[in-house]
Structure 1
Amino acid sequence: MLLRPPGVYRADGDTTLLIDVLRAGGYAAGRRVLDLGTGTGALALAAARAGAASVTAVDLSLRSVAAAWFNAQVSRTPVTVRWGDLFGPVRGERFDLLLANPPYVPAEAVAPPRHRITRCWDAGPDGRLLLDRICAGAADMLTDDGVALIVHSTVCDEDTTVAALQATGMKSQVVARTTIPFGPVMRARAGLLAARGLVQPDQRDEEIVVVEARHRA
């Protein structure tokens, strides 16, 4: 059980899928790990428990930073938690594994709200506000044999993610996928998403994918 104060993202099916991939692939063992947008710290804790050499967790939300730090302390799991925007707090460092479960739900507004819970999932008109930034910056944060694992809905188009990572010189591919029912946010926005052509009018589930990227040999 993880502490989740109001305003902090609740770990859900996307987090579970990424943790399953992390464990099954042995990605974390002996590696320096960066968890972007850590929320409650669920991914960071999973990486540490999977044998990571070190884990650094970053979030822009002070509540999330506090929650992740508290959860790491209570579980006696070694995780360094930093406050800031994506790569900013770790600029100049390199990691062997980058984990990211960013906000990816398409929203009406271009910019996410600063202080409301919707900041945990709002990601601009196409859901790629944070995804595109992560794809553009991931290569520079990884060691030569480093790997990035990014999870998001196919509503945001996994082909765009794969292509964006390849544009930075990395090899990328979808390594896992699962279908889950729309949650409350997606159900509330089904009409908006259908009007934008992002889902079918009668669609009430979504596919979640994990995209892997690594430097070309």
Structure 2
Amino acid sequence: MAELPAIAADDERLAVFTTIRDLFRYAVSRFNSADLAYGHGATNAFDEAAFIVLEGLKLPIDALDPFLDARLIRAERVRLLALIDARLATRKPAAYLLNRAYIQGVPFYVDERAIVPRSFIGELLFHGLVGPGAPIDEPSAVASALDLCAGGGSLAVLAARVFTNAMIDAVELSADALAVARRNVEEHDLADRVTLHQGDLFAPLGAKRYDLILANPPYVDAESLAAFPPEYAAEPRLAHAGGRDGLDIVRRILAEAGAHLTEEGALVCEVGRARARLEAAYPDLPFLWLDAEESEAEGEVFVLRARDLAPRGRRVRRG
């Protein structure tokens, strides 16, 4: 558990704030007055405060209203004040302070060894990627899947839940992040279906092929990386750095993925806001772009079929 600042026994806030409503209102006010950055599960001060209060008290994170007028014991007030103070003082994402993040309501352990899980692919697995009329119309037909650049293992866990007949491999370069992934795989009781590999992209996999490859690689360009606010800079740099234009790792995935897909397999890859650069670099590739409607993300995840990636003298435009 993240180390939190001490709250003095005579801190007047302990006497003034007695209910969840009090602490929630206080957190929203403080966050709004501070120069905080969001994007690790919440997009504004209201949602960030709700997450800290509810997760900090081990309450359902989607049910604030029923608890607003509940009176807090002293230990609960101390904990919430410490979390609020830590968010303001350290500028670390709330997920690191609470060692918890959620994708589509599924909980994941997280700490500073791995990026906070928030891939749009996680949303698309439940809304947009799988089902009648979607790129993957029959999830039971997926027998093998790969989570590439796995970080803390969230996509591997979600893939195992969606593709119930599939065996999952997950590859991550960072040994530290892989330790977080191992914990998540074990906590979700998936060690018999999810195999973790340490290594650089496809290197640890030999000639294995998959019906589905999910990839959320580093895709932040050098200029954006240099301008990161503290919240994003708190995450492992390796998980973000995509080179000068953000596409260094994506190019490697496109070059190698075809050799690791089954005949009818598909690559699903997240690239952030690099759509225009990617389409300009690969004018012959028929990218299918998916929109994550819940998070209002457009054109940040693409799908390519194995046949699209088969070598045919494709043109690749550089810089």
More strand by share: 1
Q: Quickly name the TM-score band, shorter chain normalised.
A: 0.7 to 0.9
Aligned residue-pair number: 183
Correspondence 1:16 to 2:122: yes
**Change in CA separation of 1:179 and 1:75 when aligned onto 2, cut-off 3 Å:** closer
Query: Structure 2: how far apart are the matches of 1:88 and 1:132?
Result: 15
Report if aligned partners of 2:114, 2:152 keep a CA contact under 8 Å in 1: yes
The structure 2 residue matched to 1:69, chosen from 182, 197, 208, is 182
**Change in CA separation of 1:180 and 1:26 when aligned onto 2, cut-off 3 Å:** closer
Q: CA RMSD in A?
A: 2.8
**Partner of 1:209 in structure 2?**
300
The structure 1 residue matched to 2:218, chosen from 85, 94, 103, is 103
- Partner of 2:212, secondary structure, is strand
**Partner of 1:142 in structure 2?**
261
Stretches of structure 2 that go unaligned for 5 or more consecutive residues are: 1-106, 226-234, 309-319
**Partner of 2:243 in structure 1?**
124
User: C-alpha offsets along residues 97-121 of structure 1, whole Å, 9 cap, x if unaligned?
Assistant: 11101110101599xxxxx711111
TM-fit CA distance, 1:74: 1.2
Larger RCO, structure (CA 8 Å, separation 6 or more):
1
TM-score calculated relative to the size of structure 2: 0.51
Where do 1:14-93 residues align within 5 Å? 14-20=120-126, 21-24=128-131, 25-26=136-137, 28-29=139-140, 30-50=142-162, 51-77=164-190, 78-93=193-208
Q: Which amino acid counterpart does residue 88 of structure 1 have in structure 2?
A: A
Percentage identity across paired residues of the two chains: 29
TM-fit CA distance, 1:131: 0.5
Report if aligned partners of 1:44, 1:55 keep a CA contact under 8 Å in 2: yes
- Partner of 2:155, secondary structure, is helix
Query: Structure 1: how far apart are the matches of 2:157 and 2:119?
Result: 16
Higher radius of gyration, 1 or 2 = 2
Q: Which amino acid counterpart does residue 171 of structure 2 have in structure 1?
A: V
Report if aligned partners of 1:22, 1:47 keep a CA contact under 8 Å in 2: no
**Change in CA separation of 1:27 and 1:150 when aligned onto 2, cut-off 3 Å:** farther
Stretches of structure 1 that go unaligned for 5 or more consecutive residues are: 111-115, 167-171, 182-204
Report if aligned partners of 2:150, 2:171 keep a CA contact under 8 Å in 1: yes
- Deviating beyond 6 angstroms after TM superposition, the runs of 4 or more aligned structure 1 residues are none
